[in-house]
Amino acid sequence: MGADTTARSLEAALTHAFAPVHLEIEDDSARHAGHAGAAGGGRHFNITLVSAAFDGHSLLEQHRMVNAVLKDLLGGEIHALGLHTVPATEWEKGGSEE
Amino acid sequence: MSQVQERISQDVSNNKVVIYMKGTPEMPRCGFSAATVQVLQSLDVPFKAVDVLADPEVWQGVKEFSDWPTIPQVFIGGQFIGGCDIVREMHARGELAPLLQKEKTTQA
């Protein structure tokens, strides 16, 4: 599977599950290749996801929601995930300050 | 509860702060583990570090224990807090220190 395929399938799954206000997926696998922790293979992505689905949920709950979606999609394929979830209400607040 | 689950349960109950990581605090074997340990060290609290690379049973076991797919994992006061991103974000928001302070007081 090419790098692009995985990033695209991630995007499709997250869009479907969270109808994000904002979604960024960065494939960071190259930077982590070959170090000891990555010995089992797998990929590394940085994801920023802003969604109304996160409103009222703790950070841990937000991450668990995303993990549940990604688990079905990728199983053990992701070695590591940089995940930044933001409730839509907080995103709007941040935006108005700019 | 399996033996390894029992061991994890005891470790997180008997230590105020526990991190399951790749490598050791002195020699982390993954950037995420290194970053998370740095946060704990900056807070100046004693913590127990468990190297999952040295024990594959614990590596698998802690993922099941917390229902969390990645390493590192941080527990405070027996509660699962989260992985690298959550710990760093809570630290940035100033939410981690009060949590640890509470644990310190409870300990005394």
Q: Distance between CA A29 and CA A9 in Å, rounded?
A: 16
The domain ranges of chain A are: 3-92
Q: Which residues of A fall below an 8 Å CB-CB distance to B?
A: 32, 35-38, 59-60, 63-64, 67, 70-71, 78, 80-84
CB contact under 8 A, B22 and A64: no
| C-alpha separations of B10 from B4, B77, B78 in Å | 10, 12, 9
Q: Which ranges of chain A have pLDDT less than 50?
A: 36-41, 96-98
Could you tell me which chain B residue has the CA closest to the CA of A65?
A: B68
What pLDDT sits at residue B66?
96
Calculate helix-pair angle for A59-74, B84-92, nearest 10 degrees: 160
CB contact under 8 A, A37 and B83: no
**How much is the ipTM here?**
0.86
Strands B73-76 and B48-51 come out as unpaired
Superfamily the domain A3-92 falls into:
BolA-like (3.30.300.90)
3-class secondary-structure state, position B95: coil
- Matching residue, tokens 């007081």: B105
Instruction: Tell me the β-bridge partners of A34.
Output: none
User: Is-contact A79 A38, C-beta < 8 A?
Assistant: yes
Q: pTM of the prediction?
A: 0.85
Burial B30-46 (b: 16+ CB within 10 A, else e): bbbbbebbebbeeeebe
Q: What is the pLDDT of residues B22-81, one digit of tens each?
A: 999 999 999 999 999 999 999 989 999 999 999 999 999 999 999 998 899 999 999 999
Q: Number of H helices and number of E strands within chain A? A: 4, 3
- Cβ contacts of A60 on chain B, cutoff 8 Å: 80-82, 86
Closest C-alpha among B75, B14, B81, B24 to residue B49: B24
3-class secondary-structure state, position B10: helix
